[in-house]
Structure 1
Amino acid sequence: MQMSDVAKDLTAGTVGGVAQLVVGHPFDTIKVKLQSQPTPPPGQLPKYSGAIDAVKKTLAAEGAGGLYKGMGAPLATVAAFNALLFTVRGQMETVLRSAPGAPLTVNQQFIAGAGAGVAVSFLATPTELIKCRLQAQGAGAAVVAEAGAAGASATAAKAATSSVPVKYGGPMDVAKQVLKSEGGIRGLYKGLFPTLAREVPGNATMFGVYEAVKQYMAGGTDTSGLGRGSLMLAGGLAGGAFWASVYPTDVIKSVIQIDDYKNPKYNGSIDAFKKILKPEGVGGLYKGFGPAMGRSVPANAACFLAYEVARSYLG
């Protein structure tokens, strides 16, 4: 791949990533809140009964800004993340291509996506650790706000909500606290294994499905004539395929990354899998699946469309 093509992938990947983040982050916040809520004691209800309930309680306690909590960390790195994802994928396409300019098969796109997934895992792990910690810490305020609204005045409820301790002041504060008290750089890479287990097969599936849908709609390997609606449809289906194929690993990643460092509940990914599965069954591994799928379709439709349009514009 020529340097000019690398620059084009870097730029187009950045544009696609920003579009994906703006469209999808509120869904991601609700997903993490549902994933991170503890199993209620016998006879008690969970903090959130579902995605709609989590949205209502988040808006009541934190306002619309609560849905964009933790966005600073991915926004700061979205350029690097998507630029890396699409550039590594592009370079692998060059290696796999049988001749210059030849289209790749669906199987080759699976391989290219897997390679890109390995690369982005090392950037995604610290970014998502920061994001998850900020998203999860708002849960306590929502519960207090609900209790106040049920039996106290608005003033008392507000006072109760404000009394809930907030551990982190923002993305940089999360990074500083983790570096200081959780083993330095190693602490920021907590959850690397489940992140790899998500990104490698997930991106392989996503790029493979994206290419398969495009070729199906184009009636052949030449997909250059597809319109924007077709690209959005292919991108949306590809994003849905990503989450459908790897969602339990994302649940495990989230609970590990927000786990207490000094008194951990989980001793690694396998232990987390067992402890989630035992009391909650398979359903415990799919907490927040609805918001994740609700996010993936429009967010990835926006991402792939923005990438393709930007890439085409750049030549």
Structure 2
Amino acid sequence: MSADFWAGYGSGAIGILIGNPLDLIKTKIQAGNVPLAAHSSPVTSAAGSEPVKPSRQWSSFARGAAAPILGYGALNALLFVTYNRSLALLNSGQTLESSNDPSAWSLWTAGALGGLAIFFVSAPTELVKCRAQVSEPPRSSWDVTRELWRQGGLRRLYLGGGVTSIRDAVGYGFYFWSYELSKRWIAKENQTSNEEGVRILLCGGLAGVVTWASVFPLDVIKTRVQTWDLVHAQGTHSVEAATQPLLRSNTAPATTAKPARPSTFQIAKQAYAHEGIGVFFRGLGICSARAFIVNAVQWATYEWMMRVLAV
């Protein structure tokens, strides 16, 4: 396969390994009504007497990582291949190496096409990741996938796929646009290899921050759509447990009708009505910090692998 495929695959897998702990916190903040205590209160078990093993504390930050590590390698590979081919076509069929400073419009459009191309991988991967991250008690990505398949087969794995595809198209449009333009703006003649490395890290980190700033409200909505029933069920169970009598009667328990799942627009509307405009930017600070670090490393890995594989 082509160099950009493997470079994209490698950089995507490395980015997930680095960024998953902060991504876990971001998802919990976005989902709403999900306690962070299980990942931040460090010392005792539920019984209050047995210390929680440090290995369990650290492993909690890897929750939901299996699906992204497997999925985002392929996702990133497809993303970069589609971007490079689309950009070449948009610039009169020239290769990237011979194309001289593609326009900002073609950079954004090629990135958006790349974002749309990864839909078939991105939507189920994001769904499994988010649900694994907010599940209480903890569940593996494989357990979440099996449950989703039992609930509705392949269609269920694409829950929230519409808003995910819009987020990816807009976000990756700005991703490649900001990376390439920032590289031009801070370009310098006769750069040393160290200076070039710093430039790639800086531009990659900046591209990550710009990307998430452009689509963060959409990402919040996506997370809430994909975890709505799970968060609602967990909240309902905690309320029921707190209000149950100590002694049960012999009468049959009353059945509670399962609430109908609201649409994407209704979920966004409810979030705004209950929590205000700030809900759509909750977690942006953590996300920006993660985005700068992860994308700096991703772009450095991609550029390095492209050089190695091109030899």
Normalised TM-score (structure 1): 0.79
**1:194 CA drift (Å):** 1.1
1:20 equivalent among 15, 34, 38: 15
Task: Give the structure 1 partner of residue 285 of structure 2.
Answer: 290
Residue 274 of structure 1 pairs with residue 266 of structure 2: no
Is 1:114 aligned to 2:84, yes or no? no
The alpha carbon displacement at 1:224 in A equals: 11
Instruction: Determine helix, strand or coil for the equivalent of 1:206.
Output: helix
Q: 1:123 aligns with which of 121, 145, 150?
A: 121
> Using the alignment, how far apart are the partners of 1:223 and 1:122 within structure 2?
40
Structure 2: which 5+ runs fail to align?
A: 45-51, 231-256
Asked whether the 8 Å contact 1:243–1:292 carries over to 2, the reply is yes
Which position in structure 1 is the counterpart of 2:41?
Answer: 57
1:211-290 to 2 correspondence within 5 Å?
211-218=180-187, 227-260=196-229, 263=258, 266-290=261-285
Shift of 1:264: 5.3
Summarize the alignment of residues 1-315 of structure 1 with structure 2, pairs less than 5 Å apart: 7-38=2-33, 47-48=35-36, 56-57=40-41, 62-98=56-92, 99-100=94-95, 101-103=98-100, 104-138=102-136, 165-166=137-138, 168=139, 170-181=140-151, 183-218=152-187, 227-260=196-229, 263=258, 266-315=261-310
Counterpart residue identity of residue 131, structure 2:
R
Contact preservation (8 Å) 1:58, 1:66 = no
- After superposition, the C-alpha distances for 1:126-161 in whole angstroms (9 at most, x for unaligned) are 0111111110014xxxxxxxxxxxxxxxxxxxxxxx
User: Distance between the aligned counterparts of 1:59 and 1:28, measured in 2?
Assistant: 23
Q: Distance in 2 between matches of 1:83 and 1:212?
A: 22
Tell me, in whole angstroms, the C-alpha distance in 2 between the residues paired with 1:264 and 1:94: 49
Which letter does structure 2 place at the counterpart of 1:102?
S
**Partner deviation per Cα, 1:158-197 (whole Å, 9 max, x = no partner):** xxxxxxx45x3x222211111112x211100001111012
Runs of 4+ in 1 over 6 A off after TM superposition: 58-61, 222-226
Amino acid across the alignment from 1:232? L
3-state SS of paired residue (2:229): coil
1:219: Cα distance to partner? Answer: 5.6
Offset of residue 223 of structure 1: 10
The RMSD of aligned alpha carbons is 2.5
Q: 1:184 to 1:110 in 2, by over 3 A?
A: same
Query: Unaligned regions of 5+ residues in structure 1, if any?
Result: 1-5, 39-45, 139-164
Task: Work out the number of aligned pairs and report it.
Answer: 269
Q: Structure 1 residues 211 and 278 mapped into 2: Cα distance closer, same or farther (>3 Å)?
A: same
How high is the sequence identity, in percent, across the aligned residues?
31
